[in-house]
Amino acid sequence: MTGTLAEHDDVYRQQGFGASSGIGQRPALLIVDFVESFADPTMFGGGNIPEAIAATARLLAFARSRHWPVAMTRIVFADDGADANIFTRKVPGLLALTETNPHGAIVPELTPIAGELVLRKRLPSAFAGTDLTAWLAGRGVDTVIVTGATTSGCVRASVVDAMGNGFITVVARDCVGDRALAPHEANLFDMQQKYADLMTSDEIVATVSARFAQAKE
């Protein structure tokens, strides 16, 4: 495949990709793997991840003001590596992210509060092997707004599974980050074509706020 992503947009549009799914009536915020090791460029971080964490902190404040369900994920493996899997065969360093390792802790800017779900996962998707689907369904959620790291890895896997589990899915594009910008941009493009809407955090806030204002009239 040659050419820029923008040059391929016409091909996708002609084939019927990229329609908008919008935002439903009951959003939830999903924050994927914004932990210390992914904020550290000497470990799993780099690229635009610091900026994405800062933008997510602002969106999280809005979500809390609206009383949205909020779920966050951490990658957590057993101290003795007994639960190692194919994911850790590909990325052995993930086995260091145990329950008590500070590198696996959620970054301070996004510290969860009471009532927010913190999921431990051992696979890329926030839905794989976790109770996330049931937790969201139990709260009447119809839309999952996804933030986190990395765009090309755990974010993408979570977006595909969110859509596959029947949720309208929105990627907050300034709230997702990757250690390299080329895979970040390529995966944003692909997710928008097939699985999710892409919106900035400001656009999400404006859309939801406008709907709330109309409902009060």
pLDDT band at 104 (very low <50, low <70, confident <90, very high): very high
Question: What span, in angstroms and rounded, lies between the C-alpha atoms of 56 and 174?
Answer: 8
Which residues are designated catalytic?
154
Write out the DSSP string of 172-209: EEEEEE-SSHHHHHHHHHHHHHHT-EEE-HHHHHHHHH
Mean pLDDT of the chain: 95
pLDDT given for residue 63 in this prediction: 98
Average pLDDT of 73-92?
Answer: 98
Average pLDDT of 70-85?
Answer: 98
pLDDT band at 66 (very low <50, low <70, confident <90, very high): very high
- Tell me the pLDDT tens digit for each residue of 15-51: 889 899 999 999 999 999 999 999 999 999 999 999 9
**Percent of the chain residues past pLDDT 70, beyond the cut:** 95
pLDDT band at 217 (very low <50, low <70, confident <90, very high): low
CA distances from 97 to 131, 148, 158 (A): 20, 17, 19
Model confidence at 56: pLDDT above 60 = yes
pLDDT given for residue 14 in this prediction: 84
Q: Map out the domains of the chain as residue ranges.
A: 25-216
What are residue 173's phi and psi, to 5 degrees?
Answer: -65, -30
Question: Could you tell me which CATH number the domain at 25-216 has?
Answer: 3.40.50.850
Model confidence at 3: pLDDT above 60 = no
7/150: higher pLDDT: 150
pLDDT given for residue 13 in this prediction: 84
Average pLDDT of 159-169?
Answer: 98
Residue type, 50: P
Least confident of 18-22, 132-136, 143-147: 18-22
- Tell me the pLDDT tens digit for each residue of 169-207: 999 999 999 999 999 999 999 999 999 999 999 999 999
pLDDT given for residue 1 in this prediction: 44
